[in-house]
A and B are shown apart, each in its own frame.
Chain A
């Protein structure tokens, strides 16, 4: 049995993850959601109006009445990229057991490539600076923040996202455990929590709840669902996928 890495050095405080009181940036904001929020900020557009506009825009795109920008195909410009687009480079990524060919700029993060280019929107963009864990995926079986690595650097690596956990209709035991223990509220952090918990289960930690809280400290939940998440991880990590 591996010892707790920090045993005797620090104790964990009761109630939730030690990092739950973290005054981090708000962990919400997909590209569209960010636009929605900034639109709301000007006080002129209501959320309902914005959503209506977005739906109409989508419908127009679907019927071909609006043309896509020239660079949209295969190199959709992800949020957070400033300046003129530069030439995309061809990449091959191994995701959930399948090879994907795409073209993106070198500055595109793995998270943005998953979400914007490949339509795998299970991994969430929260802080986008490695602080909230909503973007956690497995690379070669180890959990990492996909917002802090470039897609171009991950070629040849086996990447697993939340979409790749279930086997057909059979949920991964950790997904099942999160359901059973009600380990989520708004659900935004949940894919990252589950991916982190799966990676955590393969790491040398002890079995205590304090170890679970420390081991899961890279994942922030704004709803504060930590007691349920700890229960879900405790239950889920002993079960074989």
Chain B
């Protein structure tokens, strides 16, 4: 790891001022599970770390039937919170499917939303990578791309977003609350992450010097009937080959409302409006689950080694819809 300066902030205002004073080479640090890792392999090289763990952003509060989740809430605490388990089971399941217990005890909600890709070409500084070094090329495109995205890709980048939690947040209509030099603003979760396009180095709408302070989840009719299913090379402690978060509201056997998001296959946490459209108003049965899965993967663009992900994601989605509907 390269030499760094370190300072601890004690309130949001102080943190923002410290970050604003060195906008080009500072970074906030929360859990550090992703940032310290990337600093050790020289993929991220901030010269100043601003420790934000002293900020009062570690509370989970019930607000108007929904939840307001501080950016510094640890993944394990969020996963095991009684209200999350009861009202948003998909979120609890997604969090517990991610990383290891030790990492979940450190990792934070804000950091998880900003988690960088696990693309091996991004993590190896001897390889070209348009995300790490714009214009340098992409080793994955013609390389070993078994783990890579099939949805939302561009000619510059096919790196998959690795976060499990973000897939659940995408399905739950979450809102990201941000604080910065220009004040506070909110961003719908679906708008927070950017497609790679020709600027894969820009991953979110977060501007330099801005911090995520909270995430809010609305009260929901459908979230209680929600599930997360993750498929990976081994049964635990691995990134998703494909995953799916779904939430459905049933009226008898008819699907009244639905939320569908995919992980492991998208360049960002992948909400599928097409799949939702294929489900709403239809009977909750395998025929319509398969139709939704086909709709969700319709635009998939597989590369040499990851074509299997298209069928795997379809089957994952059909399976988790059956679980959510109580049919499996």
Contacts and interface: CB of A to CB of B under 8 A. Distances in A.
B120 interface: no
Nearest to A155: B8
Interface string A1-25: 0000110111111000111011000
B227 interface: yes
B238 interface: yes
Contact of B93 (A9, A12, A153): A9
Interface in B1-48: 1-6, 8, 29, 32-33, 36-37, 39-41
B122 interface: no
B234 A21 contact: yes
Interface string A138-159: 0000111100111011000000
A218 B4 contact: no
A81 B229 CA distance: 40
A84 B79 contact: no
B163 to A, nearest CB: 16
A149 B36 CA distance: 7
Interface stretch (A30-38, A62-70, A199-207): A199-207
B166 interface: no
Contacts of B312: none
B82 to A, nearest CB: 11
Contacts of A213: 236
Interface stretch (A50-58, A126-134, A180-188, A225-233): A126-134
A105 interface: yes
Contact of A106 (B4, B80, B92, B237): B4
Interface string B159-193: 00000000000000000000000000000000000
A143 to B, nearest CB: 5
B1 A133 contact: no
A22 B239 CA distance: 12
B287 interface: no
A180 B277 CA distance: 58
Interface residues of B, number: 42
Contact of A152 (B6, B37, B97, B100): B6
Given A10-B235, A143-B102, A145-B33, A5 B1 contact: no
* Prevailing SS type, chain B contact patch: mixed
A217 B103 contact: no
B88 interface: no
Contact of A107 (B1, B93, B100, B235): B1
A9 B97 contact: yes
B36 A18 contact: no
A217 B100 contact: yes
A11 B93 contact: no
B51 interface: yes
A18 B235 contact: yes
Contacts of A209: none
Given A19-B237, A148-B106, A218-B237, A203 B101 contact: yes
Contacts of B32: 148-150, 153
A18 B230 CA distance: 14
A34 to B, nearest CB: 14
Nearest to A10: B235
B98 to A, nearest CB: 11
B198 interface: no
B96 A22 contact: no
B3 A84 contact: yes
A109 interface: yes
Contacts of A97: none
B304 to A, nearest CB: 21
- A-B pairs with lowest CB-CB distance, top 5: A218-B100, A106-B6, A18-B235, A5-B96, A18-B236
Interface of B: 1-6, 8, 29, 32-33, 36-37, 39-41, 49, 51, 53, 76, 79-80, 92-93, 96-97, 99-103, 105-106, 227-230, 234-238, 323
